[in-house]
Amino acid sequence: MTSQEIRQSFLDFFESKGHKIVPSAPMVIKDDPTLMFTNAGMNQFKNIILGNDPIVYSRVADSQKCLRVSGKHNDLEEVGHDTYHHTMFEMLGNWSFGDYFKKEAIAWAWEYLVDVLKIDKERLYVTVFEGSPAEGLSRDDEAAEIWSQFLPSSRIINGNKKDNFWEMGDTGPCGPCSEIHIDLRDDDERAKVDALSLINNDHPQVIEIWNNVFMQFNRKADGSLEDLPAKVIDTGMGFERLCMALQGKKSNYDTDVFQPVIQEIARLTGYKYGENAKVDIAMRVIADHIRTIAFSITDGQLPSNAKAGYVIRRILRRAVRYGYTFLEQRSAFMYKLIPTLISVMGGAYPELISQQQLIEKVTKEEEDSFLRTLETGIRLLDKVMDDARKDGKTEISGKEAFTLYDTFGFPLDLTELILRENNFTVNVDEFNSEMQKQKERARNAAAIETGDWVVVREGESRFVGYDVTEAETEILRYRKVKQKNKEFYQIVLSVTPFYAEMGGQVGDSGTLTSENGRIEIIDTKKENNLSVHITEKLPEDVTETFTAVINLENRMATSCNHSATHLLHEALREILGEHVEQKGSYVSPDSLRFDFSHFQKMTKEEIREAEHLVNRRIRENFPLHDMRELPIAEAQGMGAMALFGEKYGEKVRVVRFGSSVELCGGTHVNSTGQIGMLRIVSENSIAAGVRRIEAITASKLEEMFDMQQDMMASVRELFNNTPSLVTAVQKTIEENADLKKQLEDFMREKIVSLRDKVLSNVEEINGIKVIHLNLEAAPDMIKTLAFQIRNVVSENLFFVAGSVNDGKPSLTVLLSDDLVAKGLNAVNIAREAAKEIQGGGGGQPFFAAAGGKNPSGIEKAIAKALEAIK
Ligand code: SER
């Protein structure tokens, strides 16, 4: 079976067992502070598992894009070095939310592997949780019992908490699990060593392929376990490993998922796969990482310097580095792999196709910039080695290696490699201790302590802020959060008019008022689908009834900007083309920011056109059509614009103004006329292929117009209130240029007459023509004068001029070349003489100038210079 067929067969099998097939959630997670990337299929169901969201389908199956590069599940360092770990991989999974449990999950897993895929059942082994007395958990006898219907008890093995108790993160859903392992070794090897001794022992052909988790608990922040509202089945099968098993390969990278990309790497670099261990590792790293990079870009996560973007940047750099070191790639080349990657993955993930150009541009730019950094780092390292050599050392300090790591992204192994080629070593202990120090610094800076929720009353939270701006409400729960030295509270309300920050729109602020007082809500954020209201102070009595009121002025301004963003999005697609896709937005009361894919700077005309189009639609005063709870298919049928990397449910909200139709959760004006007007204030590039527009609307725009008009009025006043300001300014500029030219002409004439006067009055001392004078002129002019004299008197010339200009003394010395040849040096003469004016200077042996602080010493300085002739 091809990988495509394998993926499909899994989904078909579980569909036949009554499962709803759902799409993969985005790989980059936006509203869960405990998780940066999807690391398991269950992430997108976390809220259902915790009971925060209702169960829509109790049986679900999918193929989920996962990324394990940070946090609790991090495989990054293994990737490439072994043949079965990946940064990004696909996880095939089936779920039951309060429906079936262990019996069915186990039986279907067996049926799928053995009956459908015809995997040799003699090669399968399973593990069950051995229990953990410390946590009060006993052995999973139930799972073992069910498994024993399918395979002999000798192949059912106990596993410890590390391997057989699955947890999503430090907190969240968890439970005992049962893993299915497969032995893919050749028969003679199997005869020699029993697979039992190789399970969970890093053998590349005796590996876990499928994990069945029996979710029963929620791990709380204090480390304790509480029961989940309903029992849940969560299974995850490594798609790439399954492909290896079914395609009879010994490595994930030998399957049709990776081979085309690896062959393309071989073609581009001229190296072969399978001949040299280091080259192979590099090729695997690149083949793996390019998938992660491409998929995160389509998910809207560009490489950057912070958070998720930084993780992606580091992955990309890791690949560049392997290419640089082991495949001798000195210029960008990974972006050339994208077409091949698309030929493998584009069928299942069409977003790769529609965003191909963007992926290539971003990848290339990142490669180029990191390669430049590498070159700089290598030069730096050369210098460090040179210095060490001078001191007779062959070791460089760990501090220096750490600087390279920290500022240039040089991992220690790369530094070591370069050092080794030059017979150098590095102090690794010192490096590690620097690293440790930095980690501690980072940990202290990022530490957030979140307390457990204090439940005031049970109930669901309801958002009413699309329709009203204040509401009667009660507190459902609250908790304390500590970040750095700040302490604040998060509150969940039963009914809330507060919009929680989401989809680029900032959260509402406002107040909670009761008979006993009022507290300020400073912000509202979304966490795991809950709206949390942030306040520095809790109400005295949390059980009271409150009136929640939002800051209306801010909300109105924000809504104007949000609706304007939709109109702008539409206008840009009309003017620039359909390749324009939203890559991010930020909507606040002050302004709006809109990021979109486009490959060159917008022209002035295009910007104007976009403004005009938006403003026309504002004036047409289109009413808001706010369609909530629309089935997603219907919304798509209306041509609603959706974003990749956003998670949409079955039912969506559609916001329409005229022909602008978008899937959107934000707040909006009632009709476009309320926006008043839009003005684009800047248009820039923020990454390869991504542009950013900033714009303002409504009263902010009025403020800007006021300011501009006031400024114009002041300028006009300077020009005697002329009706034609441009003509007046132009005239002034022309006059100025004219005057400048006249001045230059005048100076030139003056210098010529000065030169002639000076030349008619030359003194001779010891056969040398000496010119010394004290005059009031700018240093530039004196220089010109000196050079003009040199043109006339080319031999035996000694020129010295002192000058006090604007109260500043200066001294100029010029010698003809023959005097320089005889050993005189203008620099020395000027420096020595300038002591009299408390100054210093420099120049060349034939010409030097010096400035000083003491104008009264100028005559003495000239006299001092003249001494040189003697
Ligand atoms: N959550 C489990 C895992 O990631 C099973 O899907 O392994």
Instruction: Give me the CATH number covering residue 628.
Output: 3.30.980.10
* Interatomic CA distance for residues 830 and 848, integer angstroms: 6
> Does residue 183 sit in the same domain as residue 74?
yes
**pLDDT over 90 at 651, yes or no:** no
Distances (CA, A) of 678 to 346, 561, 614: 39, 9, 7
- Regarding beta strands 678-687 and 660-663, do their DSSP bridges make them parallel or antiparallel, or are they unpaired? unpaired
Q: Is the dihedral of CA 541, 545, 547, 550 positive or negative?
A: positive
- Residue 840's DSSP bridge partners are 851
Q: What are phi and psi of 581, to 5 degrees?
A: -130, 145
Which of 356, 375, 394 is the C-terminal boundary of a domain?
375
> Does residue 812 sit in the same domain as residue 834?
yes
Residues in the chain: 870
- Residue 527's DSSP bridge partners are 530
**Would the CB of 166 count as within 6 Å of ligand 1?**
yes
3-class state of residue 76 by DSSP: helix
> Does residue 150 sit in the same domain as residue 231?
yes
Nearest CA to ligand 1 atom 6: 236
Closest of 752, 815, 809 to residue 776, by C-alpha:
809
What H or E segment, with its residue span, contains residue 21? Answer: strand 20-21
Residues 412/428, Cβ–Cβ less than 8 Å: yes
Q: 807 CA distance to ligand 1 centroid (A)?
A: 81
3-class state of residue 99 by DSSP: coil
402 found inside a domain: no
> Does residue 106 sit in the same domain as residue 188?
yes
According to DSSP, residue 111 is labeled I
> Does residue 247 sit in the same domain as residue 300?
no
**Would the CB of 63 count as within 6 Å of ligand 1?**
no
Pocket test for ligand 1, best of 10, 35, 42 (most atoms within 8 A of CB): 42
Q: Given this model, what pLDDT does residue 294 score?
A: 97
Pocket test for ligand 1, best of 235, 237, 241, 242 (most atoms within 8 A of CB): 235
Convert the pLDDT of each residue in 61-114 to its tens digit. 999 999 998 777 778 878 888 999 999 999 999 999 999 999 999 999 999 999
According to DSSP, residue 198 is labeled T
How many Cα neighbours within 13 Å face the side chain of 316? 32
- Residue 137's DSSP bridge partners are 132
Q: Given this model, what pLDDT does residue 236 score?
A: 97
> Does residue 120 sit in the same domain as residue 62?
yes
**pLDDT over 90 at 50, yes or no:** no
Q: Given this model, what pLDDT does residue 676 score?
A: 97
Distances (CA, A) of 640 to 92, 394, 526, 592, 615: 29, 65, 24, 21, 22
Q: 352 CA distance to ligand 1 centroid (A)?
A: 26
Q: What is the mean pLDDT of residues 643-668?
A: 88
Residues 316/338, Cβ–Cβ less than 8 Å: no
The chain-wide mean pLDDT, for the chain, equals: 92
Pocket test for ligand 1, best of 60, 86, 94, 211 (most atoms within 8 A of CB): 211
Nearest CA to ligand 1 atom 4: 40
Q: Given this model, what pLDDT does residue 704 score?
A: 96
Token digits of residue 254: 């030998």
- Regarding beta strands 470-483 and 486-493, do their DSSP bridges make them parallel or antiparallel, or are they unpaired? antiparallel
Convert the pLDDT of each residue in 262-289 to its tens digit. 999 999 999 999 999 999 999 999 999 9
* Interatomic CA distance for residues 36 and 71, integer angstroms: 8
* Interatomic CA distance for residues 230 and 79, integer angstroms: 36
The distance from CA 69 to its chain's CA centroid, rounded to whole angstroms, is 15
> Does residue 665 sit in the same domain as residue 628?
yes
**Would the CB of 176 count as within 6 Å of ligand 1?**
no
- Characterize 669-680 residue by residue with b for buried, 16 or more Cβ atoms within 10 angstroms of its Cβ, and e for exposed: beebebbbbbbb
According to DSSP, residue 668 is labeled -
| Residues 6+ positions from 166 with CB-CB distance below 8 Å | 174, 175, 176, 177, 211, 213, 234
195 found inside a domain: yes
What's the Rg (C-alpha) of the chain?
37
727 found inside a domain: no
**Would the CB of 551 count as within 6 Å of ligand 1?**
no
**Would the CB of 296 count as within 6 Å of ligand 1?**
no
Token digits of residue 553: 């002025």
**Would the CB of 234 count as within 6 Å of ligand 1?**
yes
3-class state of residue 575 by DSSP: helix
> Does residue 268 sit in the same domain as residue 135?
no
Token digits of residue 515: 């008979």
> Does residue 347 sit in the same domain as residue 460?
no
According to DSSP, residue 30 is labeled S
> Does residue 659 sit in the same domain as residue 643?
yes
540 found inside a domain: yes
CATH number at residue 14: 3.30.930.10
> Does residue 514 sit in the same domain as residue 563?
no
- Regarding beta strands 20-21 and 59-67, do their DSSP bridges make them parallel or antiparallel, or are they unpaired? parallel
According to DSSP, residue 102 is labeled H
Closest of 60, 63, 59, 61 to residue 91, by C-alpha:
63
Sheet holding 625-631, edge to edge: 625-631, 651-657, 660-663
Q: 167 CA distance to ligand 1 centroid (A)?
A: 8
Percent of the chain residues topping a pLDDT of 70: 99
3-class state of residue 587 by DSSP: strand
Q: Which atom of ligand 1 is nearest to the CA of 41?
A: 6
Q: Given this model, what pLDDT does residue 446 score?
A: 67
DSSP letters for 705-731: HHHHHHHHHHHHHHTTT-S-HHHHHHH
**Would the CB of 213 count as within 6 Å of ligand 1?**
yes
Convert the pLDDT of each residue in 352-370 to its tens digit. 998 999 999 999 999 998 8
Token digits of residue 322: 């392997």
> Does residue 219 sit in the same domain as residue 160?
yes
CATH number at residue 854: 3.10.310.40
631 found inside a domain: yes
- Residue 174's DSSP bridge partners are 167, 217
Residues 664/672, Cβ–Cβ less than 8 Å: no
Q: What are phi and psi of 200, to 5 degrees?
A: 55, 35
* Interatomic CA distance for residues 460 and 494, integer angstroms: 6
What H or E segment, with its residue span, contains residue 344? Answer: helix 338-345
What H or E segment, with its residue span, contains residue 740? Answer: helix 725-759
Domain encompassing residue 842: 762-866
- Characterize 822-860 residue by residue with b for buried, 16 or more Cβ atoms within 10 angstroms of its Cβ, and e for exposed: eebbbbebbbebbbbbebebebebbbbbbbbeebebbee
Which of 235, 257, 279 is the C-terminal boundary of a domain?
257
538 found inside a domain: yes
Convert the pLDDT of each residue in 427-449 to its tens digit. 999 999 998 988 888 777 667 77
* Interatomic CA distance for residues 465 and 434, integer angstroms: 50
Which of 375, 401, 421 is the C-terminal boundary of a domain?
375
Number of helices (H), then strands (E), in the chain: 25, 37
Per the structure, how many domains does the chain have? Answer: 5
Distances (CA, A) of 226 to 171, 356, 391, 816, 830: 11, 46, 63, 95, 87
3-class state of residue 160 by DSSP: coil
Strand residues in 194-297 grouped as ranges (E):
206-219, 225-238
Nearest CA to ligand 1 atom 2: 236
* Interatomic CA distance for residues 798 and 772, integer angstroms: 8
* Interatomic CA distance for residues 316 and 292, integer angstroms: 9
Q: Which atom of ligand 1 is nearest to the CA of 213?
A: 5
**Would the CB of 211 count as within 6 Å of ligand 1?**
yes
Q: 80 CA distance to ligand 1 centroid (A)?
A: 22
3-class state of residue 426 by DSSP: strand
Q: What is the mean pLDDT of residues 682-687?
A: 92
CATH number at residue 506: 2.40.30.130
pTM of the model: 0.71
494 found inside a domain: yes
3-class state of residue 289 by DSSP: helix
**Would the CB of 39 count as within 6 Å of ligand 1?**
no
Q: Which atom of ligand 1 is nearest to the CA of 39?
A: 4
Pocket test for ligand 1, best of 91, 92, 127, 181 (most atoms within 8 A of CB): 91
Residues 415/399, Cβ–Cβ less than 8 Å: no
713 found inside a domain: no
Distances (CA, A) of 604 to 99, 447, 580, 611, 694: 60, 46, 18, 11, 15
The distance from CA 470 to its chain's CA centroid, rounded to whole angstroms, is 37
Q: Given this model, what pLDDT does residue 91 score?
A: 97
3-class state of residue 810 by DSSP: strand
**Long-range pairs of 573-577 with CB within 8 A, sequence gap ≥ 24:** 574/613, 575/606, 575/609, 575/610, 575/613, 576/602, 576/606
| Residues 6+ positions from 851 with CB-CB distance below 8 Å | 779, 808, 809, 810, 834, 839, 840, 841
Q: Given this model, what pLDDT does residue 291 score?
A: 97
Pocket test for ligand 1, best of 60, 92, 213 (most atoms within 8 A of CB): 213
Residues 565/667, Cβ–Cβ less than 8 Å: no
3-class state of residue 606 by DSSP: helix
Q: What is the mean pLDDT of residues 414-437?
A: 88
Residues 771/797, Cβ–Cβ less than 8 Å: yes
Q: 469 CA distance to ligand 1 centroid (A)?
A: 42
Q: What are phi and psi of 341, to 5 degrees?
A: -60, -40
Q: Which atom of ligand 1 is nearest to the CA of 42?
A: 1
What H or E segment, with its residue span, contains residue 375? Answer: helix 356-390
Q: Given this model, what pLDDT does residue 469 score?
A: 96
**Would the CB of 41 count as within 6 Å of ligand 1?**
yes
**Would the CB of 236 count as within 6 Å of ligand 1?**
yes
**Would the CB of 215 count as within 6 Å of ligand 1?**
no
